[in-house]
Amino acid sequence: MLRQFMGDVPGTRRQTETLIEICSRQPVPLWSGLAFCLQGWAIGMNGDIEAGLARLRQGYDGFAATGARLMLPYHNALMAEVHAAGAEFDAALGRLAEADRLIGANDEGWFAAELDRIHGDVLRQAGRPAEAETAYHRGLVRAREQEGLVAELRCAVGLAELSRQKGDDAAARDLIQPIYGQFNQALDSRELLHARTFLTP
């Protein structure tokens, strides 16, 4: 999961293939379901949307069949990202709505801010900037409540992208600077490298 959170598509695929091989020798349906979901995300984000979604559905169904309820919002978000990568925005938003419902039903708040960020990204890609802004702001509030600095930065970057699209580079910079300044390690991570592009004159 860490590789997926980092947006590392090749790394996610390598690690899930290792886990799937282990599960083939010592079956653990919960872990194999998770592995298939992550593998499907990597396949889809690498461009094969149909195959990625098929693998994701296989993993999701297998995971849910164990009776597990936690992590289902996360798996729905993975499917949403793949749908969005294929410009299937209605399907993506449907999956995000289901993820949000499950978060409320299962009181699974750990993923809430990241879900808002993904929701904002999908809405922005779909050409719905006002709704995207609302989702990003909701994610900022949740991230700050949980003291989740990475989630806060990701939501702020989404808002900064919207400001940049409006030609307001100063607003984007003012939003990112105080959050970026709180990081003192992993400065070469994907999130921080992206955030830094808003700080360069």
Q: What residues does each domain of the chain span? A: 108-201
Alpha helices in the chain (DSSP H): 2-5, 9-25, 29-45, 49-65, 72-85, 89-106, 112-125, 129-146, 149-165, 169-180, 190-196
| Span 86-92, average pLDDT | 98
- Name the DSSP letter for residue 8: -
Main-chain phi, psi angles of 83, to 5 degrees: -55, -45
**How far apart, in whole angstroms, are the C-alpha atoms of residue 19 and residue 98?**
27
Tokens of 130: 């006002």
DSSP states of 68-88: --TTHHHHHHHHHHHHHHTT-
Q: What percent of the chain has pLDDT over 70?
A: 99
| Span 76-105, average pLDDT | 97
CB atoms closer than 10 angstroms to residue 190: 12
> 186 pLDDT band (50/70/90 cuts)?
low
Question: pTM for the whole thing?
Answer: 0.92
Residue 7 has pLDDT above 80, yes or no: yes
Burial of 109 by CB count in 10 Å (0-12 exposed, 13-18 middle, 19+ buried)? middle
> Which CATH fold would you assign to the domain 108-201?
1.25.40
Tokens of 27: 């079956």
Q: What percent of the chain has pLDDT over 90?
A: 80
> 57 pLDDT band (50/70/90 cuts)?
very high
**How far apart, in whole angstroms, are the C-alpha atoms of residue 39 and residue 50?**
13
Give residue-wise pLDDT tens across range 129-183. Answer: 999 999 999 999 999 999 999 999 999 999 999 999 999 999 999 999 999 999 9
Please give the pLDDT value at position 132: 98
